[in-house]
Amino acid sequence: MSIFVIFLHLFAALQWKRFSIIGHSMGESFSALYPEMVDAVVLLDTYGFLPAQVTDMFKNMRKGINDQIQYDNKTEERKERVYTYEKAKERLKAANPSLSDQSADILLERAVREVEGAFVFTRDFRINLKNVVNNNMEQCLHMMSLVKAPVMILLAKDGLFKTFILPDGYVDMILKGWTDQKATIVDVEGDHHIHLNKPESVASIITDFLQSHSPDKTESESNNNQSSKL
Ligand SMILES: *[C@@H]1O[C@H](CO)[C@@H](O)[C@H](O)[C@H]1NC(C)=O
Ligand SMILES: *[C@@H]1O[C@H](CO)[C@@H](O)[C@H](O)[C@H]1NC(C)=O
């Protein structure tokens, strides 16, 4: 939840009142919470919402809390682990096997920083801890209905479908939820990192979608309509 507080501080500082979102995750939750700020949403190989089964929700919460306590317990002994560039790249690719070599280099531009000739990861390790916030299917479908912006979902054939298995029937229910919301769902060849590994294969799909929902276009159209009336 605190990430949304950070987002809102950031958007206020940037004086962004409305914008479009392209992302792997959280774009849909933000769009459900603050629909008045979002023009369009593009989700890259994600279902948007990932419902938990009711019987797992509190188990997950307990695990999340336990993970956090274990992490806090280790504060004293936790040191920044240092890598050579090549080792950092190996580590990143081990955690994300679908990254091409070039994609890994691109991500490492921001994912590591140099410290005395070695490299340390810049990400907050707590991103790996089990999330304490869980939503069940009913909650996810309700949040989906709060998204007012047009949504496009790119699903990679060798992506999430194959690597992130949801309980039986869940994928169909989520996709039906999105279809009921008039979301555009596009199947693309490739893996979870297709937009990074082969951007040319999805760039025009995304650009066309965003341009057809750009507020500028609507504004100039309505200006035209106004001037034609005058
Ligand atoms: C954290 O440390 C306390 C005190 O040493 C210990 O009792 C507890 O089991 C630890 N918790 C976890 C989750 O590791
Ligand atoms: C502008 O006028 C055209 C033709 O009458 C109409 O189809 C279109 O929806 C209008 N656009 C807006 C933004 O009002």
Q: Which residues pair with 229 in a beta bridge?
A: none
- The span from the CA of 4 to the CA of 161, in Å, is 27
Catalytic residues: 25
Contacts of 114 (CB under 8 A, 6+ apart): none
The dihedral built from the CA positions of residue 183, 187, 191 and 193, taken in this order, carries a sign that is: negative
Confidence of residue 1 (pLDDT cuts 50, 70, 90): low
Does the pLDDT at position 90 exceed 60? yes
Q: For residues 17 and 161, what is the distance between their CA atoms, to the nearest angstrom?
A: 34
Average pLDDT over residues 202-206: 97
Please give the Cα distance from 47 to 167 (Å, whole number): 13
Token pair belonging to 36: 């008045």
State which of 65, 69, 76, 77 you would mutate to test the pocket of ligand 1, scoring each by most atoms of that ligand within 8 A of its C-beta. Answer: 69
The confidence score (pLDDT) of residue 133 equals 87
What pLDDT score was predicted for residue 63?
95
pTM of the shown model:
0.81
How far, in Å, CA of 71 to CA of 78, rounded? 9
Instruction: Specify the amino acid at residue 40.
Output: A
- DSSP conformational letter for 35: G
Query: What confidence tens digit (pLDDT) does each residue in 167-193 have?
Result: 999 999 999 999 999 999 999 999 999
Q: Report pLDDT for 229.
A: 42
The tens digit of pLDDT for each residue in 41-82 reads: 999 999 999 999 999 999 999 999 999 999 999 877 777 789
The answer to whether the CB of 145 is under 6 A from ligand 1 is no
Taking the C-alpha atoms of residue 39 and residue 24, their distance in angstroms, rounded to an integer, is 17
Distance CA 223, CA 215 (A): 12
Average pLDDT, the chain: 90
Q: What is the dihedral sign for C-alpha 72, 77, 80, 81? A: negative
pLDDT digits (tens, 9 = 90+) for 96-154: 999 999 999 999 999 999 999 999 999 888 888 888 889 999 999 999 999 999 999 99
**Residue keyed to tokens 């890598």:** 83
Contacts of 158 (CB under 8 A, 6+ apart): 98, 189, 190, 191, 192
Distance CA 203, CA 180 (A): 26
Smallest-distance ligand from the CA of 226: 2
Output the ligand 2 site: residues, CB below 6 A.
218, 221-222, 225
226: pLDDT strictly greater than 50: no
214 Cα: distance to centroid of ligand 2 (angstroms):
15
220 alpha carbon – ligand 1 mean position (Å): 61
Domains and CATH numbers, the chain: 2-51+136-213 (3.40.50.1820), 58-128 (no CATH)
- Judged by DSSP in three states, 128 sits in helix
Using CA positions, which residue lies closest to atom 7 of ligand 1?
73
Nearest-CA residue for ligand 1 atom 3 is 73
> Best mutation site among 73, 76, 77 for ligand 1, i.e. most ligand atoms within 8 A of its Cβ?
73
CB distance 128 to ligand 1 below 6 Å:
no
Q: Are 49 and 133 in contact (CB under 8 A)?
A: no
Q: Answer whether 69 contacts ligand 1 (Cβ < 6 A).
A: yes
